[in-house]
Amino acid sequence: MCIKIADDSTGNVTITLGEGTTNTLKSGMFCAGLQKNGNGDGIGKLTITGTGSLTAGGYNGAGIGGGWKGGGSDIAISGGSVKAAGNQANAIGGGQGQVSACPAW
């Protein structure tokens, strides 16, 4: 299962990892496990918080961030245990074929 936030969304999204939960997101081809495409002014922020764990994997997309050729900016991790891996892409940030700024920590 993967989660996709609307491309170039201007809304802020917060994902709270519940206490004691183990969550896994794995994408299909050309997608991120937790997909947030978009760069530039006005792009909403993705925040991951809580105390549970999240493992996210992308295929030609970031683990968390952009899908294939998609940017993935304004990403913050402020809690929980987060592991991300991108197949031929960043773990966190832009997907394959896209360069994006480092996420906010």
The string of pLDDT tens digits covering residues 62-102 is 889 888 888 888 899 999 999 999 888 888 888 887 654 44
Q: Phi/psi at 35 (nearest 5 deg)? A: -95, 125
Q: So what's the pLDDT on residue 104?
A: 44
11-42 pLDDT per residue, tens: 899 999 999 999 999 988 888 899 888 777 88
Q: Are β-strands 13-17 and 46-50 bridged in parallel, bridged antiparallel, or unpaired?
A: parallel
More confident residue, 43 or 98: 43
Q: So what's the pLDDT on residue 98?
A: 66
